[in-house]
Structure 1
Amino acid sequence: MTLTFRAIAEDAPGPKWAGVFAEYWPSYRRWWRREGAAARPTYLECRAALETHLPEIIPIYDDLCAAAGGGDEAARFLSYWCPPRYLTGCSQAVWPGDEPLLVRNYDYDPEAFDAVILRSAWQGRAVMGLSDGLFGLVDGMNDAGLAVSLTFGGRQAVGEGFGVPIILRYILQTCETAEEAGRVLARVPSHMSYNVTVLDRARRYLTAYLAPDRVTLLTRTPVATNHQERVEWSSHARFTATVERERFLLQRLQLHPETRDRFIAAFLRPPLYSTAFDQGFGTLYTAAYRPAAGKMEVCWPGTQWVFQLDRFEEGTRTIVFPETHHAHGTGPAPAPQTP
């Protein structure tokens, strides 16, 4: 399997962003309309949700809607309000060394992945990260030295809230510290359960357990896989080996002090690295965020692509992935509903 990643820089929504959105929109639209367009909130409902919860980024939203062509369905999609349900895998951890470092694996369906590393300066805030829907982010970092990433929380509940990628975008557009990000995570509703880890340049960090049916829990844990305080979806936990991956990371943090490079390298090998690409849970990339240095390293076995926020270089990189094997665990796979 091969996948081509694109690195794109555009300070304000313009022809680059619009061109990629137009290319992806047919696939986005099919996913968004999977249960019928009437199953999704109306434009007025989407805008009201943004005005209530994320008002600071409405000017960006309006610019993106215009760049997308001004259509009703694209605007509803870009709001991320009550989208269709979707599942990811993923592992992430804060390194305990002398430099702030957040490392994460993104385990997802390669057919439903932007594969776009986007550097923007919307509203004057420089942000780079891996995009979702070309507005949201699955991980990223801003010019204040705040890094953030997500994992699926391992619960089936779905409720009224935003798709989590726009919550990450909002954090990076409006926050500078882990404490500020925690306040956002505590108040903004998420439509499914996710674990969000944030790390700032002063090495303050937290992990938030988001859920649509209970209050957000802010924790001081440096590790997140695919459950929250306990396993609540046993078949998904077995399939993704969430408990085993969490134990592996905690042991590395607590028992095996190691260099930054060795810590990153651990994410490129089992049990953290997965080749279950045909089941929607293969590791598509490893990202290492270094907030104090303003640097992001996107890694695959045998290669890496390094980005500097203040000297971002565009380009493409085609990655050849290992042969597909079964997922982390041995239990029956859940039915992932992915874009």
Structure 2
Amino acid sequence: MKILQDAMDFKFEAINEDVPGPKWRRVFDRHWPVYSRWFVREGVRSRPTYSVSLNALRTHMPKLLPTYEAIVETAGGGDLEARFLSMWCPPFYVGGCSQAIVTGAEPSLIRNYDYSPRLLEGTWLASRFNGKRVVAVVDCLWGVLDGINEDGLAVSLAFGGRTAVGQGFGMPIVLRYVLEFANTTAAAVAMLRDIPVHMSYSIAVIDRQGNYATVYVNPDRPAEVVERRVSTNHQHGVEWACYAEITNSVEREAAVEKLLPASASIKDVLSGFHRPPVYQTHYGRDCGTLYTAVYRPLDASVELVWPGSVWRQSCADFQDEVRTIRFNDGDFGLAPTLNGAR
């Protein structure tokens, strides 16, 4: 395992592009060499064919097909690119996250994304692929790790802590579908119940009316809506013990639960997300906190937050920008700086 030495500087890039074009193609060119190697790491024949992938999209997310075709064309139209961008049955991969749904006068969704800085794409994309503004931190080039749309619907994902794998989509493309075509928590939940996924995830959802849900999706059992406002990296209980221990999943869950009394404010919850054990700095073990996102459905805005730094954007006002974040392994936290590029 590669251990970070001293510090690693990482660029987060905010891109405003309504439909796939030169900005998105630049992102594709930057990341495709690594993604292509990862996608075929078990052999190219281990991945579904283009026709199988296309049929899966046509069956389960037909309204997304025009966007998918535009993305593939912008990427150059290659067979391997098209198979990868469908996100149908990708390789198994994991990450660690903490999620909290805050209710009350100002509903919000707050999450820490914990992963390796070597593997984070770092693209914050504002788009109108289907006429609706969507702002999301992306994964697999156009999928969604967390995001919000102009209707005030916010979603985020956390790995569910199970080793089960099945025939289904990578979760980021499912959340893309949700943000493109749902406007309420109820509509999002209906989609999450219907679309097959290849791994286990806990999905946090909240809308402008304050309606919320935590949805456990799995490849081997039906999606389940649970009466919970907190999720980390296990579902009803720990099933993958060594993973839960490495990522402090149980400890993080307990700490976040304590942050959510009935009177909890966004400020108080956010403060707790920047303290151990919720905030993690084990970047060399691929489970350090890379960013905190605060989604505010009332005005369809979002902040990416690091200790000492807040980067605010919204569906109504999203600006191209680059920020450089420094990750230090161990207990030294983050020292974010703006590099001045726009």
- Give the alignment's TM-score, normalised by structure 1: 0.94
Q: What root-mean-square deviation, in Å, do the aligned CA atoms of Structure 1 and Structure 2 show?
A: 1.2
Residue 274 of structure 1: aligned partner: 280
Gaps of 5+ in 1: 327-339
Opposite residue 111 of structure 1, the aligned amino acid is R
Asked if the contact 1:148–1:168 (Cα under 8 Å) also holds between the matched residues in 2, the reply is: yes
Match of 2:152 in 1: 145
Q: Which amino acid aligns with 1:287?
A: A
Runs of 4 or more off by more than 6 Å in structure 1?
Answer: none
The 8 Å contact of residues 93 and 249 in structure 1, kept in 2 or not, is answered as yes
Q: Aligned AA for 2:9?
A: T
What do residues 43-66 of structure 1 show as CA deviations (whole Å, max 9, x unaligned)?
000000000101000000000000
Deviation string 1:280-316 (CA, Å, 9 cap, x unpaired) is: 1111000000011111000011111000211111100
After superposition, give the CA deviation of every residue in 1:160-179 in whole Å (9 maximum; x if it has no partner): 10000001100000100000
2:302 aligns to what? 296
Structure 2 residue ranges without an equivalent (≥5): 1-7, 333-342
Q: Which amino acid aligns with 2:290?
A: L
Q: Distance in 2 between matches of 1:29 and 1:205?
A: 36
* Structure 1 residues 253-332: aligned runs within 5 Å: 253-254=260-261, 257-324=263-330
- The question of whether the paired residues in 2 share the 8 Å contact of 1:119 and 1:312 is answered with yes
Q: Structure 1 residue 239 and structure 2 residue 262: aligned?
A: no
| Aligned match of 2:224 | 217
What is the CA distance between 1:321 and its match in structure 2? 2.2
Report the equivalent of 1:198: 205
CA distance in 1, matches of 2:148, 2:39: 27
Aligned equivalents of 1:230 and 1:115: distance in 2?
31
Mapped partners of 1:260, 1:122: distance in 2: 31
Query: Aligned with 1:195: secondary structure?
Result: strand
Pairwise CA distance, 1:250: 1.3
Bigger Cα displacement from structure 2, 50-59 vs 107-116: 107-116
2:32 paired with 1:25: yes
| Equivalence for 1:335 | none
* DSSP-derived class of the 2:96 partner: coil
Three-state SS of the structure 2 residue aligned to 1:7 is strand
Task: Give the match's secondary structure for 1:289.
Answer: strand
Q: How far did residue 198 of structure 1 move? A: 0.5
Structure 2 counterparts to residues 28-47 of structure 1, below 5 A: 28-47=35-54
Partner-residue secondary structure (3-state), 1:46? helix
In the alignment, structure 1 residue 248 sits paired with structure 2 residue 248: no
Could you tell me how far 1:323 is from its partner in structure 2? 3.3
Asked if the contact 1:205/1:220 (under 8 Å) is kept, the reply is no
Query: Which residue is equivalent to 2:234?
Result: 227
1:55 pairs with one of 35, 54, 62 = 62
Q: Is the 1:186–1:218 contact (alpha carbons within 8 Å) kept by the matching residues of 2?
A: no
Residue matched to 2:10: 3
Q: Which residue of 2 aligns with 1:64?
A: 71
Alignment partner of 1:177 is 2:168: no
Q: State the Cα distance separating 1:236 from its structure 2 match.
A: 0.9
Query: Secondary structure of 1:262's partner?
Result: helix
Aligned residue runs from structure 1 range 59-138, under 5 A? 59-138=66-145
Partner of 1:11, secondary structure, is coil
Give CA-to-partner distance per residue, 1:74-101, whole Å, 9 cap, x none.
Answer: 0000000000000010000011331111
Distance in 2 of aligned mates of 1:59 and 1:232: 39
Percent identity reads: 46
Three-state SS of the structure 2 residue aligned to 1:166 is: helix
Amino acid paired to 2:249: T
- 244-253 or 183-192, which moves further after superposition? 244-253
Letter of the aligned partner of 1:267 in structure 2?
A: F
CA distance in 2, matches of 1:300, 1:9: 22
User: C-alpha displacement at 1:325, in angstroms?
Assistant: 5.3
Provide the rounded CA distance (Å) in 1 between the counterparts of 2:150 and 2:20. Answer: 18
Q: Secondary structure at the match of 1:185?
A: helix
In 2, the alpha carbon distance for the partners of 1:119 and 1:6 equals 11
If the length of structure 2 is used for normalisation, what is the TM-score?
0.93
Q: Is the 8 A contact 2:125 2:137 kept in 1?
A: yes
**1:265 offset after TM fit, Å?**
1.9
1:153-192 deviation per Cα after TM superposition (whole angstroms, max 9, x unaligned): 0000111100000011000001000000001111111100
Aligned partner of residue 280 in structure 2, secondary structure: coil
Rounded Cα–Cα distance in structure 1 between residues aligned with 2:12 and 2:259: 30
SS in 2 for 1:202: coil
8 Å CA contact 1:195–1:228 kept in 2: the answer is yes
CA distance, structure 2, for counterparts of residue 322 and residue 147 of structure 1: 30
